[in-house]
Amino acid sequence: MNVTKEKLKDLIRTKLHNAGLSVEHADGVADVLVYADARGIHSHGAIRVEYYSERIAKGGINVNPDFSFEKTGPSAGLFNGDNGSGHVAAKKAMDEAIKMAKETGIAVVGVKRISHSGALSYFVQQAARVEMIGLSVCQADPMAVPFGGAEPYYGTNPIAFAAPGKDQKMITFDMATTVKAWGKVLDARSKNEPIPDNWAVDQHGEPTADPFQVNGLLPIAGAKGYGLAMMVDILSGILLGLPFGNRVSPLYGDLSKGRDLGQLHIVINPAFFTDLETFKQNISQTMADLNNITPAPGFEQVSYPGQGSALREIESEQNGIEIVDDVYNYLISDVIHSNKYGNKDPFAK
């Protein structure tokens, strides 16, 4: 089903509000989800609404959170999300980081006790839109095996980065620290197709091409991705005094309890380090340089990070967003949730 961005946002906002969120918070979550769908990141878009609705309805997302921000140093602060909607808390925390970086040149803000916050690139783009560099990392529930291990310990633990160029264009980088996201495995299952054997392992820690035997995702580049996942876990978990490693609460665990997740935003103000206009010009030059590199066989052009997603977002303004029919039918229905996500094995068939 093809829908406009405005229609999709209205459907998501209405469903989340009916589940129990305030209009303001439902609107904030909807904004992040539509952003993801518009950029082709459907694993973090409307497909998540029923899960969020079930957790909201069962009390696992606080619908009246007492958000608070404490400035703990000239360039440091802690934002307590009180297990409210992670999307809203992360956005507000980034706003606080931007305020500090305008004054001091750099800001580091820890975001504590939040629920799932969606596409991480949304938040670093907040910084890039006001001519600053954004870097963000966050925890995820344990689904990835450490290098050499046979059981999950870390999450997909994403890293996102954005830097501004000229004319509101920006470089945006957003990646999981696993070879592929879990959604890619689910897609292979739905099509009954094999997966490359470097994506995941089975219950014995052996590489598997059978998506139905997956019991752990593999880190990117072996030990290097493992190290990055560890770094993210320390910065967004241990540093903030939160559960870490395989103690991070599962996505589909007890939906009546808050998840107590962590996230870390770092904002750098280029004007404190170099001439701002020169910086933006050089970012734009980097984009042009990459586009002009001779493409390898099978490629039409070298794209700079985030370019493809940005083009899809522009196209969505003109052509709408394609949403899976089942998801659309759920959004237009009177159903809040179908009671299918609680205490579910994340690797269940």
Whether residue 185 is predicted with pLDDT greater than 90 in this model: the reply is no
Tens-digit pLDDT profile for residues 295-307: 999 999 999 999 9
Quote the number of domains for the chain. Answer: 2
* pLDDT more than 70, % of the chain: 99
> Is residue 259 included in any domain, yes or no?
yes
Same domain, yes or no: 35 and 166: yes
Domain membership of residue 280 (yes or no) is: no
Residues 105 and 194 in one domain: no
Res. 131: pLDDT tops 70: yes
Tell me if 227 is assigned to some domain: yes
Quick one: 72 and 88 in the same domain? yes
Tell me what percent of the residues of the chain surpass a pLDDT of 90. 90
Give residue 347's pLDDT: 80
154 inside domain? yes
- What does the pLDDT average to over 336-342? 92
pLDDT of residue 344: 81
Predicted local distance difference test score (pLDDT) of residue 160? 98
Mean pLDDT of 23-51: 95
Q: Are residues 213 and 135 in the same domain?
A: no
* Residue 27 pLDDT: 98
d(CA 180, CA 199): 6
What is the per-residue DSSP string for 169-194?
A: -EEEEEE-SBSS-HHHHHHHHHHT--
Is 97 in the same domain as 130? yes
Average pLDDT, integer, range 82-93: 98
Range of the domain at 205: 179-218
Q: What is the per-residue pLDDT for 349?
A: 63
Of the listed ranges 8-12, 155-159, 249-253, the least confidently predicted one is 249-253
Cβ contact 21:56 at 8 Å: yes
Tell whether 150 and 189 lie within a shared domain.
Answer: no
- Does 66 have pLDDT greater than 80? yes
- Torsion angle in degrees (nearest 10) through CA of 142, 145, 147, 148: 140
Please spell the DSSP secondary structure of 198-265, one letter per residue: TSEE-TTS-B-S-GGG--EEPBTTTHHHHHHHHHHHHHHTGGGT---GGGSPPTTS-TTS---EEEEE
345 part of a folded domain: no
CA 301 to chain centre: 27
pLDDT of residue 184: 80
The CATH number that applies at residue 25 is 3.30.1370.60
Domain co-membership, 91 together with 227: yes
Q: What mean pLDDT do residues 259-279 have?
A: 98
191 lies in some domain:
yes
Looking at the predicted structure, is the pLDDT value of residue 100 above 70? Answer: yes
Mean pLDDT for the chain overall: 95
Look at residue 19 and tell me whether its pLDDT is greater than 70.
Answer: yes
Question: Is the same domain home to 125 and 185?
Answer: no
Same domain, 124 and 168: yes
What residue type is assigned to position 92 of the chain?
A: K
Question: Average pLDDT, stretch 243-258?
Answer: 95
For residues 236-249, average pLDDT? 97
Q: Which residue has the higher pLDDT, 93 or 41?
A: 93
pLDDT category of residue 192 using cuts at 50, 70 and 90: confident
Cβ-contact 57, 16 below 8 angstroms: no
Summarize the confidence of residues 92-115 as an average pLDDT: 98
263 and 209 in a single domain? The answer is no
Q: What is the CATH number of the domain that holds 202?
A: 3.30.60.50
> Which residues belong to the active site?
116
At 173 the pLDDT is 95
- Domain identity same for 326 and 202: no
Q: How confident is the model at residue 96 (pLDDT cuts 50, 70, 90)?
A: very high
293 within some domain: no
**Domain-located, residue 311:** no
- The predicted structure's pLDDT at residue 333: 96
| 78 and 207 share one domain | no
